[in-house]
Amino acid sequence: VTALEVGFHGTETWDWITTSPLFGITITVAGYALGRWLHARTKSPVFQPVLVAMVLIVVVLKVGDISYAEYLVGGNYVAFWLGAATVALALPLHQEWHLVRRAAVPVLVGVLTGALVSITAAVLVTRWAGGSEQLQLTMAPKAATTPVSLALSTQIGGIPALTAALTILAGITGAILGPWVLDRIGVRDLRARGIAMGSVTHGIGTARALQESRTEGAFSALCMGLTAVATSVLVPVLLLVL
């Protein structure tokens, strides 16, 4: 009887499970492993490991009545490595440097195009769809990587937490639909694909680009960094005219 009650809701063991980092770490890795397995099995772009893991974890949290803050006790150990992984993106950039240095003009113009169009469209479309001014400001920096979009949102008077959520959603959208859209519009040059992924879908898109090819990943990583700069400069400027 006790063996059955041990893992049950409300008991001391349950409290330990939900407050130990082990829970959040294990469920994150498990969701990711399941997502990769499903992706390999089905070859379907819908089964992005991140998306599968997110759905699985949200369901487990709901069923177990566990808050996001409790999940983050372990989740933060995983998310922590994002910073080091961003630094690591210099590696594909270094390995593909012979291609990157020759494509300086397409890279720079591509990044500027991406930042200009993304910011302008974000503000105008949100406005036309009936969003308040604060909502437009919240949407404006979403193509840049999360720390930059978050800081910009604070600076211009948006809702920072919502900007962070939108930024990640833009990244996930890019990771799932990006390569498909690129195929549809006939962009096959790996360098151009990388420039688009990095400029509009930041780190999450870059992760997907790296899976497609090292060249695409290198261009994506570079453009992610450059877009952070371009967005920081262009958002305050564009908001004066829009």
Partner 1 sequence: MLRPLAGLTCHTSPVAANPPILKGILVLLVCQLVGEVAVRLSGVQFPGPVVGMLLFLLLLRTRKPAETSSLVAGPTLLLRHLNLLFIPAGVGIVAYLGRVRDDAGPLAAGLWVSWLVGFVATALVASWLLRHVKERP
Name which of residues 9 to 48 contact partner 1 (CB under 8 A): 24, 28-29, 31-32, 48
Name the amino acid, one letter, at 23: F
Residue pointed to by tokens 């933060």 = 76
User: How many angstroms separate the CA atoms of 64 and 105, rounded?
Assistant: 52
Comparison of 17 and 61: residue with beta carbon closer to partner 1:
61
DSSP code string of the chain: -HHHHHTSTTSHHHHHHHHSHHHHHHHHHHHHHHHHHHHHHH--TT--HHHHHHHHHHHHHHHHT--HHHHHHHHHHHHTTHHHHHHHTHHHHHHTHHHHGGGHHHHHHHHHHHHHHHHHHHHHHHHHTT--HHHHHHHTTTTS-HHHHHHHHHHHT--HHHHHHHHHHHHHHHHHHHHHHHHHTT---HHHHHHHHHHHHHHHHHHHHHHH-HHHHHHHHHHHHHHHHHHHHHHHHHHHH-
Residue 215 contacts partner 1 per CB under 8 A: no
Q: Does 92 bind partner 1 (CB under 8 A)?
A: yes
Question: For residues 45-64, which are near partner 1 according to CB under 8 A?
Answer: 48-51, 53-54, 57-58, 61
178 sits near partner 1 (criterion: CB under 8 A): yes
CB nearer to partner 1: give 18 or 225: 225
Please report how close the Cβ of residue 13 comes to partner 1 at its closest, in angstroms: 23
Count of residues that interact with partner 1, criterion CB under 8 A: 111
Minimum CB–partner distance for residue 3 and partner 1 (Å): 31
Stretch touching partner 1 by CB under 8 A, among 4-12, 15-23, 175-183:
175-183
181 lies in the site for partner 1, by CB under 8 A = yes
One of 47, 70, 168, 220 touching partner 1 (CB under 8 A)? 168
For residues 70-89, which are near partner 1 according to CB under 8 A?
71-72, 75-76, 78-79, 81-89
CB contact at 8 A, 224 and 206 = yes
Q: Does residue 165 bind partner 1 (CB under 8 A)?
A: yes
**Footprint of partner 1 on residues 112-141 (CB under 8 A)?**
113-114, 117-118, 121-122, 125-126, 128-132, 135-136, 139
Q: State the nearest-atom distance from the C-beta of 214 to partner 1, in Å.
A: 10
Q: Per CB under 8 A, which region of 2-10, 14-22, 198-206 contacts partner 1? A: 198-206
